[in-house]
Structure 1
Amino acid sequence: MSSLDEVLSTLNEAWRGSLGPILRNAGIDRYARYALIAIGILFLITLVKKILSPIVTVFLKPLRRLKANFDEKARTELEKRDVMKQIKQMLERQEYESAAKLLESIEKQEEAAGYYVQAGDYISAAGLYESLGNLEKAAALYKDGGNNTKAGEIFLQIKDYRNAASMYEKGGFSEKAAGMYEQLGEHNKAAELYEICLADEGRRGGSSAKGFALKSGKLFEMAGAQQRAVQVYLRAGLHLEAAVAYEILRDFIKAGECYLNAGNLAKAAECFGKGGDERKSNEVLSRLYYEKRLLKEAASYSEKAGDFVRAAEILVEAEEFMSAGELYENAGQFQEAAEVFLRIGNFQRAAETFEKAGNFAMAAKMCQKAGCPTVKVGELFEKGGDYLEAGNFFLQSGLHDKALDAFQMIDPASENYKPASISIGEIFFRKGMLKLAFEKLKKCISGEPINKSNIEAYYYLGRCLESAGEAEKAKAIYGKVLSERYNFKDVKERIERL
């Protein structure tokens, strides 16, 4: 039966069933009825297609994908065969690097890595082994390829701390390497690397220098390298740590110096004492007690140290002036000693120490206050170059020749020359050398009217004239003296006698 016959048969059945009676009642002829039935059937088919189309699509999509994948795999397989042929040719030509790249492109990483190694490209091989999870091989190849940092990272991942430390050290990561060597118990190696960190930090002017020095020094100590530890500590100014290390080395003097720099005076003094330097120990103890304001004890230790000047200074501060003066004197500081003795009114000791200091003018004044003999005072003035005062004191002592020598030392240009000349005239008179006395005194007056500065010269000029028997001339001179100062010496009595 043909398809058309089947359709007509279906329409007849529909007609007989339900549509025929409806259409017959409507008065529609047979062919028109067939047409309407056909339209209805087409409508039904279209409706069914719309409903079923998404469902069919869902079922067909995976099938299409499977087909596409199959086609792709087939194509890829063909391409791989072509690539493998190229790789074989490259290997025959020993073009290992090119072969490795093609193998990598077709996802044959392990084979590619092997050929990268043959080509000497250790870094690319290492990268592939790393991606494959073969970290031991990757680390070794990074190491061989000179990528120390990457090698160190992977060695660290696989807990191979020794190789990791070595790689970080070669890569210039000294601090990381030091930390690992420290974990491994290699204290000396770790200390050396921290010392490098210290030097680098110093060049950069960083703030971690002391931290690195402390780590390095402690590790050197743990390694038994005390001397290296000391050097590191001192470089970073860690004096306290250096001092402790020196004590372990039994170098007590250097330990003392370090304790001193660290401000630990008690330990510094103790170490200097242990090292046999008692002087230094006492110096430090003096500082210690001075800081505590125990001045007498501080002075005592300075004295024990032989530093008499410092001891004296402290005693002056403590108002122990007599002891201070004696210590200044023991130290040869005579000027300071004299000033301290003068401060407490001890003129005798002041005179002695001023004389020792070469301050003869002050020594003479102190001697005078202390009631020393006038000749001693004169000698001190003479040593000090004050010839007028020296001559006057010698004159008071009746030492005319010494007085004369002193007066004659005075420079004619000096303001003291005139009073000295008058005194010389007096000495000549006392020695009976009337002519010399008269000439000297006359020269002093040199026609100058009598006044306070030359009244003494007029007086002795009168005495010379009186002694020479020239009474009238003497009286005339005495008269001038009385007119200037009525009660001057014994002038009135002498006039009466004449």
Structure 2
Amino acid sequence: IFCSYVQWVPGSDVVVAQNRGNLCIWYSIDSPESITMFPIKGDIVDLERADGKTDVIVTEGVNTVTYTLDEGLIEFGTAIDDGDYDRATAFLETLEMSPETDSMWKTLSKLALEARQLHIAEKCFAALGDISTVRFLHQTNQIADKVSNEMGGDGTAFYQVQARVAMLDKKFKLAEMHFMEQNAIDEAIEMYQELHMWDDCIAVAEAKGHPELDSLRRTYYQWLTETGQDEKAGEVKENDGDFQGAITLYLKAGLPAKAARLAISRPEIANNSDTVSRIAASLIKGEFYERAGDLYEKIRNHQRALECYCKGGAFRKAVELARLTFPAEVVKLEEAWGDYLVQQKQMDTAINHFIEAGCSLKAIEAAIAARQWKKAVHILELQEDPSAAKYYMKIAQHYASMQDYKVREQEQN
């Protein structure tokens, strides 16, 4: 915005621009947020580079002012373009830390890792103050150097080094692949253990039939319980076939619906009345009434199932259950269903449930509230109850407002 001048510095990746009254310099174009700015009073007219020096020429009225760029920073960009990371490091080591040099160290660290120049990467992270990465890279370099000295060749091609570089880039599956290609199963397991990536750890152990598989599972479960991960611990128990233990953990984690799902799917749990009662009580406490109803229906406690369905507004399930087990309750449930729908402002849907329940007056009121005038008239015509007469006036007033006087006269007669 308001950029009156922009130019690359020849032979580098440095950009010079003018934004209103500022000279703007990007010494590292890969980090556009890192910008060096100088206030200027005139306009940039030229950029000169000669004899290892780069000048920006600015006219300020009748005078010409020269701004000299930081050649060390420019040389860094040139060295990067040339792939000469040793020279880039040497330049950066001569500079004071600043936002510009910080972004350059980051750029160099990324490129050095990609090029497997790990000693340079270690220097970069040291300059950035990332002590844990420095320590990790130092150990990695020791492995690479030892391999180079003892076996010759490029130590960075050794599987442990490649795996560690992949870990540094958070490519853990790639690191696992490097380990598995050398049948270094214990090393893959140890990596996942240190990262607390237990699912991957167990998967590797299972795939290779590792003798410590059961011990690893116990350690995983212990870690989950110590860190308060009751849901995950429950899933481990469930996968191991300990369904009672899983349900206890799900309830502890405040997940009664998950416990109910497991109970419903396992006959041996569904037949345990104490367990079912615990789960149902937890569901009701959490207001999961429909799920509690499902659970009670599964164990054939139809009365409690019906109560829970009604409390949770699951009237379709309540009516279906009542038709099979309590036929005399169906009419009452249809009325309750209609009342529930009225509360939910679903007047249209409530009408038929009131008709099924034989509650004609409620059906008429719902039809009028839903502005289903013809349906209201049809229900009214079937009534012998004199108290229904008052609804004719309401319907007539509607048609009057619609100026449908012919129908109005019929209603009043």
- TM-score, normalisation: structure 2: 0.42
Structure in which a larger fraction of residues adopt helix: 1
- TM-score, normalisation: structure 1: 0.36
Larger Rg: 1
Query: Greater relative contact order: 1 or 2 (C-alpha under 8 angstroms, separation 6 or more)?
Result: 2
Structure in which a larger fraction of residues adopt strand: 2
